[in-house]
Structure 1
């Protein structure tokens, strides 16, 4: 590891653990949902609510992130993330009733949503310029690792006993309760992070910012020049704060581009695979209840491997090229899966198609989304734009997670499409994402945040 960037890697790796919480908290339901549904006797709508309620929390946390990170700072927001996730894990594992389960599932979602709005901003602002893309990739890598970790936990818990009664009563409790371990660990580690220099400069705490900039880049680095550049980017903006900034003439193009990227990302269907993977694999006839857990582990390994690849290749190939290739392959693979389901095909080739989809989403769209949004967002609206973008990311996730069981149980849609309709819908969104990349996304590789901010404002 380059010693010049050792501090950047260390701080960004700690902050990126917020992504692990996101991956763990969102994917844990894949193993727990069938037994949870049996325990509470849930119908299709309630099952969707048990899954999607956490996404509602994501949306609340993401939207509130702009106020919390701006007033309290990035560091305290990350500490709060760990606390809320730990609290949620304990109370969702031992709920008095389904209502209490939903309340604390939302609480955990608020923590994860806050972390998802804060961690990429913190990493983008504190990392040295030369390694910013790689360190922002840590966040997606940790999301993927969290997903893989929880799939392994789910498979381990499911293997403890073949008793269906035990599974209904207790297995989902262990799965959900395991979240308290990474949640508590992250809360403790976040307490040792320094504050973002850009936030400190915005709060007129330049001496503290200078010390942190030198610690990150080395004592020979000209921190005063960096501070002056950051201050100039702030001075060109109005001192008032209002909602029209995002869509003012100066920012309209970049804001609409980022918001469209955010909304379409999860409408591509990734959460149907990650949240309902066990049920999906069983429904299309390529897995039993037991083997579905292990096939989910294979999917988790593919997702993690893709994220690791992205971290090490993002600076070589750039953002835009990878987004175009990834979104095109996602469109082709998810559409082909829909065609095979429509034709009634049931073989392991379908699992291979799902893995291809996972590999390209996890290696391109997933990680680059979190890298390019904070890069494209101009300095003075980065907090708000990142919060709105994250809010829309979770809106898409909420739509998919709430409607997937409803679409798959629809008598009319099943008669017309034989269970394939959701995948054709996700394929159409992948196509829109591809066109957005081709015509509206610009490259951000090897540019400072201030340079990107100036270019986007001028555009």
Structure 2
């Protein structure tokens, strides 16, 4: 498909700024992304307390204790899978806004419940592990809902000419949530010594998520639902009113017609474009987690303690990890349309492979210090500039429109499952006494280095470059493959 260009038009046209209402609603919705990142990473400050309060008192054998600890830390991811599976139903039955309000409510209940798991159920000490895990799973359901509904709402509320810019805010909100909670955890830990953190401080860390969750809920109460959902429910007058606010009267009718046309289309069968595009998309989604990023984000303080840092110093170094994540996510946002998706993924994977191989070797050689910290930061930079945001861009582009909804839902589920496997297994691998004796905590990082190298080879062989192509052209390209 070719684009007709008026030769009299200037070569470059500055896009108008998004209407203030659309920007405000988009920023309100990005609190869902912020909470996605915040609740995902808040557990990093409580890992040692979970061991001390829930795991160690049970006197379990080493492997069983590590497995239980890994499950406890990663249990929210089971809720993420459930929430992702329910997101489509919630978006249609409750509306995009209603689904996000449900997610905000779950965030509030989960953060307060996991901070004080004994409050309602009466269990104390190690016996409160069951309620703690239950609340974490509940929060995971909120993450799963928000991970799909927030960007969906932004895309549907934004004017077409500004949609890409406004949707990109959600990715930045996620990494800001991650680095924000690192600062919060560090600040809370500074209020007392290590013993205080293990007995009391961890509760404040987990409860802190209730504050942005409450703000999210209050902002959504006054927000309209998306025009697309309103049209789906036959509420055309309300949809037109919302479009008048966010796009202006002139564009409103055009967008309303576009919505009606899109709703008349029917999704194709999942494999109507062949199994290849689905398999490649799901593998790409899995590799985003298999390179080990969430083991680093969840267990960063533990990793730094293994390097010999004190609890306070470990949390400070974790703040550096989050800050690097933010800076290099900005690099990706400003370069993905300039350099292309494929080069960024390949370069990022090679950077991660090199950094993880170096970190594993430094652990093995007991040569821990500034070099190990640099290797960790380089790894996070490599991920943030490539596999973090770019995979989401590619997934939204590469699936043909008729199967995009179904394929994206499966890809998100695969990603959360891979996240669960990596997060759970890291605690087992890194805590195994045999592996520690042989490699001094270095073995897991070598595994992530190998996964990163395989990810680079996979992109080189199977991933097409989508930069500058229309979605129709990308979808049509799969028909002959």
Same fold (TM over 0.5): yes
Contact 2:267-2:403 at 8 Å conserved across structures = no
CA distance in 1, matches of 2:299, 2:217: 29
Q: Which residue of 1 aligns with 2:284?
A: 261
Distance 1:304 1:230, change over 3 A: same
Tell me whether 56-65 or 5-14 shows the greater mean CA deviation. Answer: 5-14
- C-alpha contact 2:18 2:159 (8 A) present in aligned 1: no
Mark the CA change 1:268 to 1:17 in structure 2 (over 3 Å): closer, same or farther: same
- Three-state SS of the structure 1 residue aligned to 2:273 is coil
Structure 1 partner of 2:248: 218
| TM-score, length basis structure 2 | 0.85
Partner of 1:179: 209
Say whether residues 1:194 and 2:224 are aligned partners: yes
Match of 1:111 among 118, 136, 142: 142
Alignment of 1:56-205 (within 5 A): 56-96=78-118, 97-162=128-193, 164=195, 166-203=196-233, 205=235
Cα gap change, 1:236 to 1:79, in 2 (>3 Å) = closer
Q: What CA distance in whole angstroms lies between the structure 2 residues aligned with 1:218 and 1:454? A: 34
- Residue aligning to 1:23: 37
Verify the 8 A CA contact 1:28 1:151 in the aligned structure 2.
yes
Q: Deviation of residue 39 (structure 1)?
A: 1.8
Deviation per CA, 1:91-144, whole angstroms, max 9, x where unpaired?
A: 111111111111001000100111112223333344344444433332221111
Distance 1:8 1:259, change over 3 A: farther
The correspondence for 1:9, drawn from 23, 30, 48, is 23
Higher relative contact order (CA 8 A, sep 6+): 1
Change in CA separation of 1:341 and 1:56 when aligned onto 2, cut-off 3 Å: same
Pick which of 418-427 and 436-445 moved more: 436-445
Task: Give the structure 1 partner of residue 125 of structure 2.
Answer: none
1:63-93 CA-partner distances (Å, limit 9, x unpaired):
2212222333222111111110011011111
Distance 1:201 1:426, change over 3 A: farther
Residue deviations 1:397-424 (CA, integer Å, cap 9, x gap): 1111111111012234334444222112
Q: Retained in 2: the 8 A contact 1:5–1:131?
A: no
Query: For structure 2, which runs of at least 5 residues remain unmatched after alignment?
Result: 1-14, 57-64, 119-127
Q: In structure 1, what is the equivalent of residue 48 of structure 2? A: 34
Measured in 2, the distance between the counterparts of 1:366 and 1:309 equals: 11
State the alpha-carbon separation in 1 of the partners of residues 401 and 233 from structure 2: 14
Shift of 1:6: 4.2
Residues 147 and 455 of structure 1: CA distance in aligned 2, closer, same or farther (over 3 Å): same
The question of whether the paired residues in 2 share the 8 Å contact of 1:332 and 1:427 is answered with: yes
CA distance in 2, matches of 1:174, 1:127: 36
Q: Is the 8 A contact 1:151 1:293 kept in 2?
A: yes
Instruction: Compare 321-330 and 57-66 and name the one that shifted more.
Output: 321-330
More moved, 259-268 vs 108-117: 259-268
Indicate the RMSD between aligned Cα atoms, in angstroms: 2.8
CA spacing shift, 1:403–1:350, aligned 2, 3 Å? same
Query: Between Structure 1 and Structure 2, how many residues are aligned?
Result: 450
The answer as to whether partners of 2:55 and 2:69 remain within 8 angstroms in 1 is no
Provide the rounded CA distance (Å) in 1 between the counterparts of 2:99 and 2:35: 14
| Correspondent of 2:463 among 441, 448, 453 | 441
Shifted more, 332-341 versus 106-115: the winner is: 332-341
TM-score, structure 1 normalization: 0.88
Q: Which residue of 1 aligns with 2:299?
A: 276
